[in-house]
Structure 1
Amino acid sequence: MSRGQFELFKEMLANVSANSPFYREKFQKSGIDVNEITSMEMIAELPFTTKEELRQAYPLGLQSVPDEKIVRIHSSSGTTGKPIIIPYTAQDVAAWAEMMARCFEIAGITPLDRIQITPGYGLWTAGIGFQAGCEKLGAMAVPMGPGNTDKQLQMMMDLKSTVIIGTSSYALVLAEEVEKRGLRSEIKLKKGVIGSERWGEKMRQRIRNELGIEIYDIYGLTEIYGPGIAIDCDCHEGMHYFDDFLYFEIIDSVTGEVLPEGEV
């Protein structure tokens, strides 16, 4: 983190401690005075935030700007408890689109590509996030949303989609249907960007072999914009993230100690 980034981080801390009901209470309970955070190393003194705490901020306890600055709401699924609602400013939306466009570029996707987006739209961050990144990049978005495999395959053939976006399980469904229907020669896909679900090398090889495409693992979570904050590249040996937007720490899960780069 550069000095300029640290100053921006300090501004953000001051803002959330003053204007977010959630963080104001959290810092007060933890005895944290954000004005005393004077170096990057002191970031480690800030308290952890857990998923359960974020749920308790429902519905808008995380908001730290006036209502007129909020342009969009997204939410986690809430399948294991209350959903976590995240309010987005116009700047949030722009930053997210920029990171998503970078992810596409890392995957070798260009404005000449036609990107078929199969994740859901709406409160979930996936579909609309990929859409924004696609438009930022200048590629053609095919905003299909989830399901309706017959139509997915028809549009894929008719529009000559070159990139598929989806979960690993749905990408596998499409691969199996392409094989079963004998459509391989009519499919123009070259790449796939896969996220949302845990999947491994065995799944990667299966999808890649059945669809004849290179696939990339994309990462994100509702609490930090959504998908698009990290992606793997052609080497497939780990994620690339954007350190001009995000600050990562490597944490010992037992002691809570911040570890140096290269540690697990």
Structure 2
Amino acid sequence: MPTTVIFTAAGGKASSSRWCRGVPSNCDPVAQPNSPSSGATDISGSNYARFVAIWGRNAVGQARLFNWPAIFRTVRPPYGSSNWPVFIMIPQLVTPRRFGDDRGWFSETYQEQRLRDLGVTAKFVQDNHSYSKQAGTIRGIHFQRPPHAQAKLVRCVRGQIFDVAVDLRRASPTFGRYVAAELSAENGRQLFVPVGFGHAFLTLEADCEVIYKVDDYYAPETEGGICWNDPSIAIAWPGIDGTETFPMLSAKDAALPFLSDADFDFPYDGTPLAPLDE
């Protein structure tokens, strides 16, 4: 099954296609005041399906040139005590390779260097595992605020889900827009959701199990969320219209506020949301 990619303007109509539509022309990455001297150089214009070259990669500033099928930028963190550059990224779809034979298959579902080669430098500290009994269950839209904001690496190990990442960086030209992909035990895909993005998923089958890594521990005093059916985000949930068909929700998720009332302040590094690339 092909990847489902959704990209919608806040309050706009969602479209479903291999690539997103209507990427605004003012979304080209621009230099930020807090970028180090080895910051990104945009060579792609507004075509976010093309490669972008960046200089610099690690915390000690050793310069190397990389070309990756995603857009990211090296910036100094706006909060915390660290003075070293870190990567702030947009969501990425990751598909670990499977090696099959007559017995079945084998796959390295997490390999740090391979993710670093994609620009993912998050140091994961915890694995979470959820089980949803019914199809049509929505969990989200969730996030944790700084200083305990979390990046996530999400995969479905049983069943199939519609996985969503929403841009919550208020200064971003793609604030309130989202990307989504179908993750399943069969396709083995994973979605990397960076800090600054809300996360949610809808189960497309009964008895779904989802495992995801996070790079900070659960901190209930920093957790927050947004209502699943916020009209300004307008997520096109498959099979759920909010008028005749409704999702299964926890009481906590059912009480989440709309985007306009949610409490968060994530930094924007100059890289707007872009389509997911297989």
Shorter-chain TM-score category? under 0.3
Q: TM-score, normalised by structure 2?
A: 0.26
Greater relative contact order (Cα 8 A, min sep 6): structure 1 or 2? 2
Higher normalized strand content (fraction of residues) = 2
Higher normalized helix content (fraction of residues) = 1
Max Rg structure: 1
